[in-house]
A and B are shown apart, each in its own frame.
Chain A
Amino acid sequence: MKTIKFLFVTLAVAILFNSCSDDNDDPVIVQENPLSEMNRLTTLSANNHTIELYSENTDFTVGYNMFYYRIKDESTDTYLSNAQITVNPLMHMTSMTHSCPKSAISKMEDDTIYMGYAVFQMPGNADEYWELNMEYTLDGETYAISERIDVGMPEDGFKRVQSFIGADDKRYIVAMIPFEPEVKVNAFSAMVFQMENMMNFPIVEGYTLGIDPRMPSMGNHSSPNNENLTFDSSTGKYNGKLSLTMTGYWKINLQLFNKQGDVLKGEPVTDENEASSLYFELEF
């Protein structure tokens, strides 16, 4: 019996040790700058204030960009939490000037951080450029800052936004919300805007965005159990499910349907038709 007892104890110890070694202890990292994980794309200075603009990307890129802003009062060296901000990017083309779809600027949990997105439809070039116009109100006083920014195509050159004229003769912009694709059923979101005029791009509600992911390099095969993107009024986004059965280059063929189910843009993928004219691309 003694031997057995001894073995029991040994065993128990062994189990304890073994089970501990697998655990991942994630240490809580205390950070001074809550945005240190992000990239600071630019800093605007005026009126004794410094406005820092952060993004998950390293550049201003064509497509959906979520921006994070902080306003620092240089005189007190503190970040301000009581500002009202509006941001209006403008594209100065040779023949005209227009804006882009963008959100109102809201505060995050850490109330010194403000956030809002902008969807750049096109890149700038030597003659045409984007300008970031910002207005902020502090203690009843409104300040304005503007700065020219370089908006480039994404490095991989993939399409994540597309603007077009729908079958109803209205202009639309469809943008994919960036995510980390994996081999699984991915949560997949996009936004649909209508271009009312050069300056107004309201969110289109209640439409449907049909998806058909394909791998053109692999016989243009699809994947099962995708879910078309439907409108979620609480976030203004179109949400669905995107199945990716392997890594590599995927073309997400799209079809935009209105509330009546009429196709506004995009064609179904068939044996004869390899791809839709409306699509996003991704590679991982």
Chain B
Amino acid sequence: MGNLKNITMYYFFKMLVFWVLKGPKKTINMALLALCCLSFHGKGIGQEVPVPIDQDSILPINLAEVIVIAPIYKDTEHRTYQKSLATLDGYLESSQKVSMIKRGAYAWEPMINDMASERLSVTIDGMRIFGACTDRMDPVTSYVDVSNLSNVHVASGQQGAKMGNAIGGALDMRLEKSGFVQTDWKSAVETGFESNNNARIYGYELNYASDSFYVDSDIIYRDADNYISGDGQEVAYSQFTKYNVSVNTGVKFSESQKLLASFIFDEAKDVGYPALPMDVSLARAFIGSLSWVQDTFLGNLYEWETKIYANSISHFMDDSQRPNVPIRMDMPGWSDTYGFYTQARLQSRGHKWLFKWDGFYNKSLAEMTMYPNNANEASMFMLTWPDVRTLNTGLFAENTLAFENSVLTIAGRISAQGTNVANEFGRNSLRIFYPSMEQIQARFLKSLSTEYRYNFKNVELVNGVSYGDRAPSVSEAFGFYLFNSFDNHDYIGDPNLKNEGALELTSKISLPFKNGKIGAVGNFFHTQNYILGEIDPTLSTMTIGADGVKIYRNLEYANLFNVSINGVWDMSKNLKYNGLVSYHRGVDQDSRNLPFISPLTYSTSFRYSLPKFSASLSLRGAADQVNFNSEFGEDRTSAYNVVSLSVAKTFFISDDRLDAQVGVENLFDTYYSTYTDWNNIPRMGRNIYLTLSYAIN
């Protein structure tokens, strides 16, 4: 075994160096070789009898939130909670932990604990994937659709360290898979219409499953016009069109060995961003993975899963639809990621272990071409992301120890990350600011978390302490004149930024009472070297009309505090009440407010459900945003209350099933905007939607 470890480390190290220096193609050969070697070796040794696994001995770890997305005909339980053909963004927004930054009607950017993309790890079935837009117009969540997913797993803070190095948390979108069950052919047609923006949604899925093979396929198409805000005004450039196709398949080789493959193609066209000066003519993603799942592996290890994956994103931002711009420009971007992970569990003497080794290689390139009004002048070109190659590989281990009334979980991750600014043009550009910038740099990242969960007479108490850090994102480290239309500044990266590290304290209590439960969750992040853009008055703006230039800097520290209280009450057998209030605060070392920190928000809903009928009435709202960051362009966003209702009914037509749902969002046509709305663009006004889903068995 020691030998295997040495060999693994040897390949590992070799690949790291090689990949950073030479690029992906040449290293893929190596990676495959290394993988072959590993699995080859594994087969020879892993023949011992597996230890029986007692799944129930561990209390459910439920600090994480799971947002259920599966189609309505598959999941009666959740069907009234949600508009069934809502965009994924809509589903995420309904979550208690996730809030969404909006720049338009499409491609919202998720935030967990008031932290956005660069502080999160967003994955699709564990695959790392990175948006290709320098202006964050294509969060990873925009490249999948609800038709692909069964649920989204949201982990707060270092609870998400399994997925990668992040501060705010992890969001893992899990693909829907039939699995090896004897269901034979199944198909479903779904269609939806929304009145406000004339959105048409058509979906079809066809699945086949037997006990040794399954294939799931689906296609969904969405087309929406501009939406209308609560004051009756049309919000220009809020249209979008998108379609998504995916295929998932699995083959069972033996009772304990499975090969799974998945492929997603997603394309969005003519996507308007009313909050931004530019739109997107095309955003396209190819996402694929292949995994090997084996019940037992190398002696006492079990649930061994190995996945290799690749994804490629092309994103074309332009302003061709805008009539008045000071200068025409194109800003395409590309992001390719290749990666793998392999994980297995182990149980010994009351300890449960999870081990994971993962790695990814990302290539991010973005450029900007500006066309002068004088046609005789040469176009102006710059690399805004200078072909940054990032290689990250890490080891994660989690140990769970169960006592009589409590569970202690300790988890840790160490990662090595190398970055290579591969493009000479880009290197020279950055060296204008940083003359001694190295082409290649290495960082070491770490995460350690402990969580103690205590149960006493149904009172549940969870306390956690963690520390984790993250490397600066491509934009933060290497961005070159990235325009932020919110604070109206150009942003320049700093390759010499220190890693941002956060000490996190989490506490949760859950008190049951008759027919209900009340819970409170609080967390506190003390983030050292918090990365934020700071104005550099000596620099000249590049973008016409911009107010200045900001450079990403490490603040000394920032403190973020989130607390929420949640209550569930089963008022009768069929009527359920749900309520949530949350408060957030974020300041830096000089007590300046951090941007994008939620004001006091609340939501409350009544849900009535019978076996074939359900209805819901919900209210959500926020208090005035008192603590805003005016340097970031924020202002005091006013309080609002929005009411929505929906009813759903199920019909059976012989063996087939028809689900119909009608709902009204923003019932009173309230004109409002929230703290997450970029440049305060107003939200959608009253919207009536209708969805029909017909499942053929």
Nearest-CB residue, chain A, relative to B435? A185
Nearest-CB residue, chain A, relative to B26? A18
How far apart are B535's CB and chain A's nearest CB, in angstroms? 14
CA distance A249 to B378 in the complex (A): 7
- Is B425 engaged at the interface, CB distance under 8 Å to the other chain? yes
- With contacts A218-B542, A219-B544 taken as known, whether A247 is within 8 angstroms of B429 at the C-beta atoms is no
- With contacts A221-B541, A225-B433 taken as known, whether A11 is within 8 angstroms of B372 at the C-beta atoms is no
Contact B372 A224 (CB under 8 A): no
Contact A245 B37 (CB under 8 A): no
A interface residues, tally (CB under 8 Å): 32
- Is B379 engaged at the interface, CB distance under 8 Å to the other chain? yes
- Is B183 engaged at the interface, CB distance under 8 Å to the other chain? no
Contacts of B425 in A (CB 8 A): 182-183
How far apart are B374's CB and chain A's nearest CB, in angstroms? 6
Contacts of B611 in A (CB 8 A): none
Contact A217 B542 (CB under 8 A): no
Contacts of B374 in A (CB 8 A): 217
- With contacts A18-B26, A184-B428, A218-B370 taken as known, whether A248 is within 8 angstroms of B377 at the C-beta atoms is yes
- With contacts A217-B327, A225-B432, A283-B378 taken as known, whether A248 is within 8 angstroms of B540 at the C-beta atoms is no
How far apart are A79's CB and chain B's nearest CB, in angstroms? 39
0/1 interface trace, chain B 533-556, chain A, CB 8 Å (1 if under):
000001111111100000000000
B521-536, CB < 8 A from A: none
Selected contact of B380 from candidates A3, A7, A218, A225, CB within 8 Å: A218
Contacts of A4 in B (CB 8 A): 7, 37, 41
CA distance A14 to B29 in the complex (A): 8
How far apart are A6's CB and chain B's nearest CB, in angstroms? 10
How far apart are B512's CB and chain A's nearest CB, in angstroms? 57
Contact A245 B481 (CB under 8 A): yes
A217-252, CB < 8 A from B: 217-219, 221-225, 243-249
Selected contact of A223 from candidates B30, B40, B540, B545, CB within 8 Å: B540
Selected contact of B542 from candidates A3, A221, A247, A284, CB within 8 Å: A221
- With contacts A184-B432, A219-B541, A225-B433 taken as known, whether A249 is within 8 angstroms of B22 at the C-beta atoms is no
Contacts of B428 in A (CB 8 A): 182-185
- Is A10 engaged at the interface, CB distance under 8 Å to the other chain? yes
B432-457, CB < 8 A from A: 432-433, 435
- Is A109 engaged at the interface, CB distance under 8 Å to the other chain? no
Contacts of A22 in B (CB 8 A): 22
B463-498, CB < 8 A from A: 480-481
How many chain B residues sit at the interface, stated as a range, is 35 or more
Contact B378 A248 (CB under 8 A): yes
- Is A94 engaged at the interface, CB distance under 8 Å to the other chain? no
Contacts of B429 in A (CB 8 A): 183-184, 245
A234-284, CB < 8 A from B: 243-249, 283-284
B386-442, CB < 8 A from A: 425, 428-429, 431-433, 435
- With contacts A246-B381, A248-B379, A249-B378 taken as known, whether A222 is within 8 angstroms of B540 at the C-beta atoms is yes
CA distance A18 to B18 in the complex (A): 10
- Is A187 engaged at the interface, CB distance under 8 Å to the other chain? no
CA distance A4 to B3 in the complex (A): 10
Contact A245 B432 (CB under 8 A): yes
Contacts of B383 in A (CB 8 A): 183
Interface-centre pick from B26, B40, B380, B429 (highest chain A CB count, 10 A): B380
- Is A19 engaged at the interface, CB distance under 8 Å to the other chain? yes
CA distance A223 to B549 in the complex (A): 11
Contacts of A3 in B (CB 8 A): 37, 40
Contacts of B11 in A (CB 8 A): 11
26 contacts between A and B (CB under 8 A): A7-B33, A7-B36, A11-B11, A14-B33, A18-B29, A182-B425, A183-B381, A183-B383, A183-B425, A184-B428, A184-B432, A185-B432, A217-B327, A219-B543, A219-B545, A221-B540, A221-B541, A224-B538, A245-B382, A246-B542, A247-B378, A247-B379, A247-B382, A248-B378, A249-B378, A284-B378
Closest 3 A-B residue pairs measured CB to CB?
Answer: A184-B428, A248-B380, A219-B544
Given A218-B327, A219-B543, A247-B382: 12 more A-B contacts, CB < 8 Å: A7-B37, A18-B26, A184-B431, A185-B431, A217-B380, A218-B370, A219-B541, A224-B540, A245-B429, A245-B481, A246-B368, A248-B377
